[in-house]
Chains A and B, each alone.
Chain A
Amino acid sequence: MNDFESPILSVKNLNKQYGAGCGHCRTGDEERLMKNYCPKCGTVYACRHISFDLYPGEVFGIVGESGSGKSTLMQCLYFDQDVTGGEAYIRTYKNGEVNLFGESSQQKRHIRNHQMGKVYQNPVLGLRMGFSSIGNIAEKLIAAGSRNVGAMEGRGRTLLEHVNIPVRRMKEPPKNFSGGMQQRVQIAKALSNNPPILLLDEVTTGLDLSVQASVLDLIKKLQRQLNISIIIVSHDLGVIRMLADRTMVMLDGRVIEYGLTDQILEDPQHRYTQQLVHSLL
């Protein structure tokens, strides 16, 4: 099997629930749940049996309404939250033979620092607002083992230029920046150690249209130049249409449809997807 055909990341049967569950809901019977939670015990099933593969150089879109489990899925993949069950494998980590979710927290941190980058919807989560922008980038590099100030400063400078942050503002803390700039610093930080996988969680939500366009442009450009694999979560179908090669639609913690983005948008099969596509302004 050549590189192109074997996935860089595969997720198998990922489950995430909040609450222990009860006799009523533990059977996994769909009819017994109200949307994604159990009316008897209040347990929320945020992600249910999610499986997908991410291929090298691919942009994989995840759409769904608010509360459908998109962000929870991303948090689980970045180890911000522990999963309830399921497996994930990265090809570049121990030959893809070890389940990431079963690793120790040190190993998870290592994977996060060496294999992944994440851009959060809210820059406060992804950046240290009081530290300088270049320090924010250095943080990720230090975590990945660098102890050379000159090299880190050079790398940070290159990346910040890449995302169009003026060099003279490099040492300013992100709290002085506009939302769009903060988002671009986050992207620079996420890219700092050349991660093979980039997770983007609603990166353009809340930005005005022209800034949205420039951030999307940047992501597209970087993705082509560096050939990274991206998982992008959005409830904005325009963003998905522009960026994603393949798309997965989520509703109430389940995957209801997936396929090529064009196919999903032009010929939606599931009732919810049809509604979603037709409500596009």
Chain B
Amino acid sequence: MKIAYNFAFFDEGSKREIRRATLKAIAIPGYQVPFASREMPIARGWGTGGLQLTLSLIGKNDVLKVIDQGADESVNAVNIKKLVTGTTGVKTVEVTAEATLIQSRHRIPEIPLKEHQILVLQVPLPEPLRYYEPSEFVTKRLHAEKEYSGAWLMLFEQIMKYGNMSSGADHPVMVHDRYVMAPSPIPRFDNPKMNYSNALILLGAGREKKVYAVPPYTKVVSLAFDDYPFEAERFDGMSCRLCGAAGVFLDELIHEETGETYHQCNDTSFCLSRLNSVSAKYQEVPLNE
């Protein structure tokens, strides 16, 4: 196939502008850096922020993995992979450990990331205070003054309404004791993985035109109250139907015919690699035992 585009779709100037914003984001952990979000061949809100980061960073020797809510084969992930390989020719993988660049929608992989890896997260709403304060002018000031009562107020409201902190995803975090950040809609289960992560985590919001970052080995604390500590989702007594893994993030599925509820690893490549190793040894080895 003859590639009619520049390497990685964008012209070099665009890539440089995005990388410049990214560098600033890394220098100020958790701070939302505005950038000139480019027109993309996919619609805004479908991962253009993450994709622009990926395209600006990718090199010929990179190995790419794309996940959409834990799955490597869903439409969004496949299309993004096609676009990137079509314009760069880089290798794509499903095994997390082999990838150098991982673009993800709403999950951090189960396998701990390494120093040479970069995780790119797609962000729909980068502003953690948006529901509390609709005006960007005002939220910018609130960030500047480190005035985050709004973020706590939203959690307080959840406790008043539901008796606990019920944020299903996107539970706000304090980065490097300075900026409150929306970790993108990852489940609370993944929040602790950001804390002192070995890998660089970049977050891109294409529609909202913001880039922000958690550099490696940076303190990331999920917001909580003294008497209502932060809790991740728990899957006590549950394990994956396929690979038997426990202590990982599980999807709840309902069997269409029998109506029976069962659970399965949300991270498909993790599940697959376990299945492969299990079938090789002919035995079941639960992960956390």
Residue ranges of A at the interface with B (Cβ–Cβ < 8 Å): 105-106, 109, 128, 131-132, 134-135, 138-139, 142-143, 147-150, 152-153, 171
B153 and A142 contacting across the interface, CB-CB below 8 Å: yes
Closest-by-CB residue of B relative to A144 is B149
Closest-by-CB residue of B relative to A108 is B145
A111 to chain B: closest CB distance in Å? 13
Docked Cα-Cα span, A152 to B225, in Å, equals 11
B231 to chain A: closest CB distance in Å? 14
Answer whether A142 and B149 are a contact pair too, CB < 8 Å, given A132-B157, A132-B160: yes
Answer whether A106 and B145 are a contact pair too, CB < 8 Å, given A142-B156, A152-B156, A171-B160: yes
A147 to chain B: closest CB distance in Å? 5
> Which secondary structure characterizes the binding site on chain B?
helix
A105 and B145 contacting across the interface, CB-CB below 8 Å: yes
| Residues 84 to 118 of chain B near chain A (Cβ within 8 Å) | none
| Residues 38 to 87 of chain B near chain A (Cβ within 8 Å) | none
B225 and A148 contacting across the interface, CB-CB below 8 Å: yes
Closest-by-CB residue of B relative to A171 is B160
Chain A residues within 8 Å of B177, by CB = none
9 A-B interface contacts by CB (under 8 A):
A105-B145, A131-B153, A131-B157, A132-B161, A135-B156, A139-B153, A142-B152, A148-B225, A148-B227
B160 and A147 contacting across the interface, CB-CB below 8 Å: no
| Residues 138 to 154 of chain B near chain A (Cβ within 8 Å) | 141, 145-147, 149-150, 152-153
B160 to chain A: closest CB distance in Å? 5
A135 and B146 contacting across the interface, CB-CB below 8 Å: no
B180 to chain A: closest CB distance in Å? 13
B274 to chain A: closest CB distance in Å? 40
Q: Which residue of B132, B149, B156 contacts A149 across the interface (Cβ within 8 Å)?
A: B156
Chain B residues within 8 Å of A135, by CB = 153, 156-157, 160
A134 and B160 contacting across the interface, CB-CB below 8 Å: yes
Closest-by-CB residue of A relative to B148 is A142
Chain A residues within 8 Å of B141, by CB = 105
Docked Cα-Cα span, A153 to B149, in Å, equals 16
Chain A residues within 8 Å of B149, by CB = 139, 142-143
Answer whether A143 and B227 are a contact pair too, CB < 8 Å, given A134-B160, A135-B160: no
B145 and A149 contacting across the interface, CB-CB below 8 Å: no
Answer whether A138 and B156 are a contact pair too, CB < 8 Å, given A105-B145, A106-B145: yes
Docked Cα-Cα span, A73 to B25, in Å, equals 41
A220 to chain B: closest CB distance in Å? 30
Docked Cα-Cα span, A279 to B147, in Å, equals 47
A160 to chain B: closest CB distance in Å? 13
Chain A residues within 8 Å of B161, by CB = 132, 171
Is B226 positioned at the interface, with any CB of A under 8 Å from its CB?
yes
Chain B residues within 8 Å of A143, by CB = 147, 149
B34 to chain A: closest CB distance in Å? 21
Q: Which residue of A106, A139, A150 contacts B146 across the interface (Cβ within 8 Å)?
A: A106
Docked Cα-Cα span, A171 to B146, in Å, equals 28
A147 and B152 contacting across the interface, CB-CB below 8 Å: yes
Chain B residues within 8 Å of A132, by CB = 157, 160-161
Closest-by-CB residue of B relative to A138 is B156
Is B287 positioned at the interface, with any CB of A under 8 Å from its CB?
no
